[in-house]
Amino acid sequence: MEPRIQYAQTTDGVSIAYAVLGDGPPIVYAAPAFGGIHVYSSGVLPITQVVDSVVARGWRVIMYDGRGSGSSERGNTDFSLDGQLRDLEAVIERSGVERFALWGTTQGGPAAIAYVVKNPDRVSRLALWVTYARGADWYKQIPALRASRAADTMAEELWEYHTLALGHAATGFRDPDLANRFAAMVRSAVSANAFLLNRDANEKIDVTDLLPLVSVPTLVVHLTQAPMSNVDLLRTLASRIPNARLVATEDPAPVIDAFLREGEERAAAPELPSGTAIILFADIADSTALTERLGDAAFRAKARELDAALRAAIRERDGTAIEGKLLSATASSPSSRARGRRSRPRSPAAKRATTPAYPSTSASTPATSSARTTTSTAAPSTSLRESAGCQRRARCWSRTRFARWRARRRGCGSRTAGSSP
């Protein structure tokens, strides 16, 4: 994605170019020596793919070019730690973020560490990648940087040759085309003089004494395939930051994403209530007999009234209603619940079609509707009545519980005189 350049003003009057990529929780990316936007846009280093992957996972990355590099003002060459902090603070204030994760890589790592110690309330988490605490150690132990220093005498006279030597060393002498593109990126990012001044300033930076003061969760990432990443320096860095963790990986994006989301999950988790908790289980006693006495329509109306009253009582006492047999989106009759589905509104024609086929001979037993009843309104045959344990125009009693239930549902009465269960 192509960054949209905006500008922030530092307290010492330097214009700093910054860009915002993606939407979501903010991550501020502390600028390396050749500028965060500039390196990202070149596509030469793995940071381009890593940033794109992090943005695709739902994060908003705020990056910038430090003073003297990329699209930022080139005239000021104060590359000290204080100067780098002024650049970082200007971008944070201009972008309007209040609380954010901070991500420092290479020369941007010490500035990120110093900012966290100075502003612990504004940083949620700190991710450090391919960086260091003491500049002199990094420039001494990374072969590409040692080779660059050895060619200092020709840097300003043979700037292109110098950047090519740095490019081949930084890419591990594996890909001449990549080394050429790296060299072109460096030449377009900084001048030869600014490069030397920046390197000298970063070599003098030492934030070792600040490491024990870092109070936010910290992840230190060793990129195993990067020639600029030194696991010994990163191990020392992680060991001196309280509760920091060191991870070695070839794919840092999912590692960084998972680390940042740990804090997100904890922040989103509600605080558990203290004290006594009361759980109320509610049900309607003898609902089948009540339905037969009232009828389905009247029973459903009463069930809805009870449902509304229970929900109101629960809300008044800051409780939580659990949907179930009694509390449901539609209060239904016991018969529909027993069949595992809710009652659905029916048209008048459908209601007429499901009128019970066997009307009751007793005025005290109301007729009820059921999805299983037939659409026929003719009187049943004698054989059907006999198979149900019925006698024409007489009370009945069946020998099985199912037949007794069926007889009652058909309105045939309750028992035959003189019979026993």
State the CATH number of the domain containing residue 196.
3.40.50.1820
Mean pLDDT of the chain: 79
- Check residue 32 and give its pLDDT: 92
Q: Are residues 12 and 107 in the same domain?
A: yes
- For residue 351, pLDDT beyond 60: no
Domain identity same for 152 and 26: yes
- Domain membership of residue 237 (yes or no) is yes
* All residues at 6 or more sequence positions from 98 whose CB lies less than 8 Å from its CB, including other chains: 122
Domain boundary among 268, 302, 334: 268
Domain span holding position 35:
6-268
Q: Between 407 and 168, whose confidence is greater?
A: 168
Is 350 a domain residue?
Answer: no
Q: 405 and 331, same structural domain?
A: no
Boundary of a domain, candidates 345, 365, 382: 345
Least confident segment among 125-134, 185-194, 238-247, 315-324: 315-324
In angstroms, the Cα distances linking 267 to 49, 260, 262, 264 are 28, 11, 9, 5
- The three-state (H, E, C) secondary structure of the chain, written as one string: CCCCCEEEECCCCCEEEEEEECCCCEEEEECCCCCHHHHHHHCCCCHHHHHHHHHHCCCEEEEECCCCCCCCCCCCCCCCHHHHHHHHHHHHHHHCCCCEEEEEECCHHHHHHHHHHHCCCCEEEEEEECCCCEHHHHHHHCHHHHHHHHCHHHCCCCHHHHHHHHHHHHCCCCCHHHHHHHHHHHHHHCCHHHHHHHHHHHHHCECHHHHHHCCCCEEEEEECCCCCCCHHHHHHHHHHCCCCEEEEECCHHHHHHHHHHHHHHHHHCCCCCCCCCCCCCCCCCCHHHHHHHHCHHHHHHHHHHHHHHHHHHHHHCCCCCCCCCCCCCCCCCHHHHHCCCCCCCCCHHHHHHCCCCCCCCCCCCCCCCCCCCCCCCCCCCHHHHHHCCCECCECCCCCCHHHHHHHHHCCCCCCCCCCCC
Do 291 and 183 belong to one domain?
no
Residue 393 has what pLDDT? 44
Find the mean pLDDT for residues 355-380.
39
In this structure, of 50-54, 181-185, 306-310, 314-318, the range with the lowest mean pLDDT score is 314-318
Query: pTM for the complete prediction?
Result: 0.63
At residue 144, the pLDDT reads 84
Instruction: Give the model's confidence band at 173: pLDDT under 50 very low, under 70 low, under 90 confident, else very high.
Output: confident
Distance between CA atoms of 306 and 318, rounded to whole angstroms? 19
Give long-range contacts, CB 8 A cutoff, 24+ apart: 146-151: 148/199, 149/199
Choose one of 248, 268, 288: the last residue of a domain.
Answer: 268
Residue 135 burial by Cβ neighbours in a 10 Å radius (0-12, 13-18, 19+): buried
> What are φ and ψ of residue 418, in 5° steps?
85, -5
- pLDDT of amino acid 303: 77
As for how many domains the chain has, the answer is 3
Question: Is 281 inside any structural domain?
Answer: yes
Cα 84–Cα 86–Cα 87 angle in degrees, nearest 5 = 65
